[in-house]
Each structure stands twice: as C-alpha cells, then as structure tokens.
Chains A and B, each alone.
Chain A
Amino acid sequence: MESMADLELVARAQRGESPAFDALMLRYQTRVSNMVYRYVEDRDVASDLVQDIFVKIYTHLKRFKGESSFSTWLFRIAANDCIDHIRRQKTRKETSLELISEYGFDPADPRDESVDERLIEAADHQMVRLAIRQLDADQKMVLVMKVYEEMTFEDIAAALALPLSTVKSRLYKALEHVGRQVRRRQLIERIGT
C-alpha cells in the first residue's frame, strides 16, 4: 500500500477501500497540517480546519476524476478552505483590532506617527509576522506554499488554478511588502542610532 502511486490508492479508495484512503491521508497529513498551521498561525484553528479539509476530501473523493494529480486536488481544497477561513474570520477591521490589542497601537493607522518608533521596540520577528499578516489572503497563501512548504511554482499554480505568472506576481507583491517593511525599519533604526 505504501509504495502505491497516489492515483492507484485514489482508485481503490473510490471503490470504498478504507485502507487505501488511510494510506493517502498518511501520505499528506503532515504536509497539509503544516501548511494550514503556517497559514492561519493558530493551532486550534488549524486543527479544526484540517479536520474539515479531510472530511471534505473523503466526501468529495468520488468526484475526483484525475484531471490533476491527487496532491494538486488536495492542496486546492486545503488552500480554498484556508483562504475562505481567513476572509470570513478576519476582515481588515478585525485584524486591525487584533493587532491593536497585540501591539497596543494600530500599525496600519497612518495618523499615528509614533507607530514606527514603537515598532522598533517590538521584536524583529513580531514585526515580520505582522507584515505577513497584513498580506491579503491570496498573496499569503502563495507565500506559505512557496517559502514554507517549498512547493514548485508549477504545483502552486495547479493547486490554486492560476497562471504561473499570477502566482509569481502574488509572491512578488508579498515579498516586496515584507521586504519594504523590514528595510523601512532598518532605516529608522539607523537614523535612531
């Protein structure tokens, strides 16, 4: 079972062979769990989402016709669930409120001129995480898939059903945003010292 190709396992699982389904899940559980966790950044939320994703995969497996690889299909379900979740749960406003409670100020508020100074006080990592959290849901997904899960551009494009150029463009914007935030902070630190 372990050495079988995905599609063979899928075919068996579609015929109702539970061990085949179990073997498939064993193959992807770690990757999906990590991707979801690194995307939503909360273990409890990730755990719920992963369960939902696997239930969906189980429920919809019969509809999988093999137009893509199984992993592409699976990551598409996972990515869509994650993106939906973030969009549902975290409107800009909520995120902003959450950040205010985390940092004691609203980093997105351009009227607050002391924000930069206080950002300097925050830990480097927190600043970067904050910048990542500010990305829109689609950009963040590409970032997580590429940088953390080390998927190929082709796999990401297939999983998100996007042209390769769009995937790269989203990643560009994501990295550019984080890069700019970091450089801005470095500049402020240099001026401050």
Chain B
Amino acid sequence: MKHLDEAQLIDIAFGAPPDAHLDTCDSCRERLATLHVGLHAVKQVKRDPVPLGPPVTARAIRMRRWRFAGWAAAAALVIASLSGLQVSLSAEGFSVKFATWGGESSSDEALQIRLQETENQIVKALELHAQVLQMQVDDRFNAIYAENAQQLKELSRQMENNLQSVDYQNGVMIASLRDDMHSFIEAERLKGKLP
C-alpha cells in the first residue's frame, strides 16, 4: 500500500478533495488529523495586522538613505578634523614649541600658558564641530520626520547616542593630547632645555 505523500496531505488539508486511500489507511488519516490540529492551532494565534505607518515613498527612502550618509559624513568629519587638529597641532602647536623650546629659552610658566591656550583652542574647535553636527542633524530631522512623532523619538535617541559617542571620543582625544604635551614638557625639562 502506497501512503499519501506530504504534498498530497497538505493539499487535502488545504481543501483538495480527500483521497480514497484515507478510507482504508489509519496511518494517513492520523497524519492528516495532526495537520488539521496544527493548522487550527496556528490560525488561533494569528496576530492582528500591524497598524499602518506613514506611506513609504520614494522621497522618504531617499531622505532616509541621505540621513545615514549624512550621519556617516558628519561623524567622519568630526573624526577627521580631530585627527586634522592633532596633525595641525603638531605642525603648528608642537612644531612651534619645538622651535621655541629648541632655540630660545622659555619659562615653565609661559609653557603652561601656551599649553592651556592650545587646549582651549581644541575645546573651542570641538564645540564648533559639535554645533555644526547638531545643526546638520536638526535640519535633516525637521525635514524628514516633522510629521512623525514616533520616528522623531527614535531618531532623537539615536542622535543622542551618536553625540555621546563623539563626546567620548573628543574627551579621549583631548586627554591623550594633554598627556603627550605633558610628557614632552617633562622630557625637555630632563634634557635641561627647560627650567
């Protein structure tokens, strides 16, 4: 006796006329019964449709992609300018100090002032970048999600996280820059170039 295969039983479970084989085969009847039980149970737990969100439009998708591209670009800008700052600092700040410290004598106090000035400049630059970043984000924010409070909330959470991470990176960068400068000063002092 050839039993019904899985596809045949599924067809019957979904409304195809029952095969005569079922009249004579307990095993296949049992398998079909299990399918019916499974199907009934699965239908029982069907979830209600999700409430429909705002219509998906080509414009929204373009904006969404742009938002992510914008974010990546803004983040890259901050990181690059941080590195850039560091580079330009070593080109201007450090190298100037090299020249100053290598050649002319300079008092420790003057160096400390210089150090403080440099640090203030870094902080100012970072604040400026953060402001630019914030402005860019705000623009996208208003443009894209003005009409959707839920997405607005989500976006603002993401934005906060991103800004926090940039803040953290800035802090690390400043701390390490400071350490570098202090060790440099210490090294120069040991070499006797500084008082």
Contact = CB atoms under 8 A, between A and B. Distances in A.
Q: Indicate, yes or no, whether A interacts with B.
A: yes
Interface of A: 13, 18, 21-22, 25-26, 29-30, 33-34, 37-38, 41, 43, 46-47, 51, 54-55, 58-59, 124-125, 128-129, 131-132, 143, 146-148, 164-165, 168-169, 171-180, 182-183
Given A128-B44, A172-B6, A182-B38, A18 B59 contact: yes
12 contacts: A13-B58, A26-B55, A26-B56, A55-B64, A58-B58, A128-B44, A129-B45, A147-B39, A147-B46, A168-B11, A176-B34, A177-B38
Contact of A176 (B14, B38, B50, B52): B38
A98 to B, nearest CB: 17
Contacts of B56: 22, 25-26, 29, 54
A113 to B, nearest CB: 24
Contacts of A34: 49-50
Contacts of A128: 41-42, 44-45
Contacts of A180: 34, 38
The size class of the interface chain B forms with chain A is 35 or more
A59 B64 CA distance: 12
Interface in B25-70: 31, 33-39, 41-47, 49-50, 52-53, 55-59, 61-62, 64-65
Interface class of chain A by DSSP: helix
Contacts, number: 114
B7 interface: yes
B117 to A, nearest CB: 47
A33 B50 contact: yes
B37 A18 contact: no
B16 to A, nearest CB: 11
A55 to B, nearest CB: 6
Nearest to B61: A58
A183 B34 contact: yes
Nearest to A172: B6
Contacts of A54: 56, 61
A183 to B, nearest CB: 6
